[in-house]
Structure 1
Amino acid sequence: MNKFYGTGIAIVTPFHADGQVDYDGLKNLINYLIDGGVEYLVSLGTTGESATLNSEEKKKIWAFTADMVKGRVNLVAGIGGNNTAEVVEQVAAFDTTGYDAILSASPAYNKPTQEGIYQHYKAIAENSSLPVILYNVPGRTCSNVSAETTIRLARDFKNIIGIKEASGNFDQINQIMRDKPEGFLMISGDDPVSFPMIALGAVGVISVIGNALPRQTSDMIRLCLNNNFKAAQKGHYDLIDFTRLCFVEGSPAGVKTALKQLGICGDTVRLPLVQVSDYTAGQIIKEIQKF
């Protein structure tokens, strides 16, 4: 489980201007992130625009990413959805070569009860040959995985090893940290609150802004994990404006603007997402130049 301490990056999927996957851009990004000192990568999480990729594109991206990483860092595959049977089929058929875990977001739109969420993750856990990381992001799914459900899953399934928690609800985070089994990982899923979450016992972050600023993000997280919060505080504050700008017109459009400025890949996103406005792009470019 120490594989998932530190900074993970929910990597974007670069596209050419015509919307096709840009594998040269993806190669550039992978090498840039590894050179930036991050601990692991998440391929095709929601930041990777997985909702707009078909099954063949996903298989190709997963295989390409594993081939480019070549074991240099740990690797997680994002496999989720709101059709449990379909998710279970994808998990069972997944080629695990080069991968260390699966990250699966709670179902969006359906708004299942807590029992429905439990049964959804039970089915995934029972069909996965890899460890499973839960992902709670109520702002996108419109349903919350409660602290009680998280703890129940953590206790009932040894291969459910942690949660990417992006509720922003510190009362809930406190309950999970107090009641979780020993070794169950709390991972921040929200860049702006990684600092205080680590102070409560989280083991790191799965970051969006780290796509553009891997060194700054991972350095700050490592300082936090070493209990050097005073030194980490400056890095945390330095990232505030850039983080806000990356999300103000939606993710991953903002961070892709920064990646284009850095010469890593283009800023194309697939509909229904669109590129950020010229004004916001200008603000992001000004902020990235400070680093």
Structure 2
Amino acid sequence: MFRGTYTAIVTPFAEDGSVDYAAFEKLVGIQLEAGVAGIVPIGTTGESPTLEDDEKARLIEICVRRCKGKAQVVVGTGTNSTAKSIKASRKAQELGADGCLVVNPYYNKPTQEGLYRHFKAVADAVKIPIVVYNIKGRTAVNVETPTLMRLIKDCSNIKAVKEASGDINQMKGVIAKRPKGFSVLSGDDGITLELIKAGGDGVISVASNIVPARMHAMVKAALSGKMAEAEKLNAELAPLFEAEFIETNPIPIKAGLAMKGLIKETYRLPMCELRQQNREKLKEVLKEMKIL
């Protein structure tokens, strides 16, 4: 079962645009020191669309090696091509990943039947657990609850959903109908506490890139039923939850990590640097939160 804080880790680039593997390994180490439950490389926050297959493989290898016996590694393997998603998921399995995060296909806008067949084909192709990643805002399609329940019933290794649909009622519906052992993880830092209160199991977090210990503490408190403590910690984190989406993710969180000197503020087009006005706003938030 997936439970706790999972960090959707960024992919650092050197000034020449190449992947900075040394910086990536350092970031993984910081996450492990904070005690997170798992790391999710090569997802949205990891800029997966602009990574080459050999780069992805090396990032997975680093993650698996560093996390062995300490935290789970759930690799982003989903694309809008079922065949490519299967290939990527098999590679992640081969390299020792603990699970695959498979996004709903984007741009081609499949029907609910198409979504079902896509996720089932990927799940059938591997033995490791699959986390369905439902994010309508980036894909233009929603994995509806009946479709998800059908997948859970028919695919024994579909073990969790990362819910970023933005619809808390849909999330609560999934929680109410899910079988025992199926995890519901928030895909939005800002609603994590609300989701846990409703019976959710944790978060795949952007904020934990820069405040892993604080995010872990908030989620741990909530899952332990210490709601007063969780509420306090969540309120302290709220300004970051807002600031991390001041522009498209992962631009702000990478800018924040660069301000801390952990990475270079380098992106691959079409992603580009944070606008100066927003940079000042982000810096102010990070200073107020004593992150800088």
TM bin, normalised by shorter chain, reads over 0.9
Name the counterpart of 1:41.
Answer: 39
Name the counterpart of 1:206.
Answer: 204
- Asked if 2 retains the 8 angstrom alpha-carbon contact of 1:8 and 1:41, the reply is yes
Q: Which moved more, 1:92-101 or 1:184-193?
A: 92-101
Residue 170 (structure 2) pairs with residue 141 (structure 1):
no
Deviation at 1:223, TM superposition (A): 0.7
Name the counterpart of 1:68.
Answer: 66
Gapped regions of structure 1 (runs ≥ 5) = none
- Asked if 2 retains the 8 angstrom alpha-carbon contact of 1:259 and 1:265, the reply is yes
Deviation at 1:183, TM superposition (A): 1.2
Q: How does 1:6-25 map to 2 (within 5 A)?
A: 6-25=4-23
Deviation at 1:134, TM superposition (A): 0.4
Partners of 1:202 and 1:133 in 2: how far apart?
A: 14
Partners of 2:63 and 2:92 in 1: how far apart?
A: 14
Q: How does 1:124-273 map to 2 (within 5 A)?
A: 124-273=122-271
Partners of 1:59 and 1:279 in 2: how far apart?
A: 36
Deviation at 1:286, TM superposition (A): 2.2
- Asked if 1 retains the 8 angstrom alpha-carbon contact of 2:5 and 2:219, the reply is yes
Q: Which moved more, 1:240-249 or 1:114-123?
A: 240-249
Q: Which moved more, 1:141-150 or 1:92-101?
A: 92-101
Deviation at 1:93, TM superposition (A): 3.7
Per the alignment, in what secondary structure is the counterpart of residue 47 of structure 1?
Answer: coil
- Asked if 2 retains the 8 angstrom alpha-carbon contact of 1:135 and 1:164, the reply is yes
Spell out, residue by residue over 1:14-38, the C-alpha distance to the aligned partner (whole angstroms, 9 max, x if none): 0011111011210111111111221
Deviation at 1:235, TM superposition (A): 1.3
Q: Which amino acid aligns with 1:18?
A: D
Q: Which amino acid aligns with 1:43?
A: P
| Structure 1 residues 255 and 111: alpha-carbon distance in aligned structure 2, compared to 1, 3 A threshold | same
Partners of 1:260 and 1:71 in 2: how far apart?
A: 29
Residue 31 (structure 2) pairs with residue 30 (structure 1):
no
- Asked if 1 retains the 8 angstrom alpha-carbon contact of 2:93 and 2:126, the reply is no
Identity across the alignment (%): 36
Partners of 1:80 and 1:97 in 2: how far apart?
A: 16
Q: Which moved more, 1:192-201 or 1:256-265?
A: 256-265
Partners of 1:281 and 1:14 in 2: how far apart?
A: 18
Partners of 2:105 and 2:215 in 1: how far apart?
A: 29
- Asked if 1 retains the 8 angstrom alpha-carbon contact of 2:210 and 2:256, the reply is yes
Partners of 1:126 and 1:268 in 2: how far apart?
A: 37
Deviation at 1:285, TM superposition (A): 2.0
2:275 to 268, 272, 277: 277
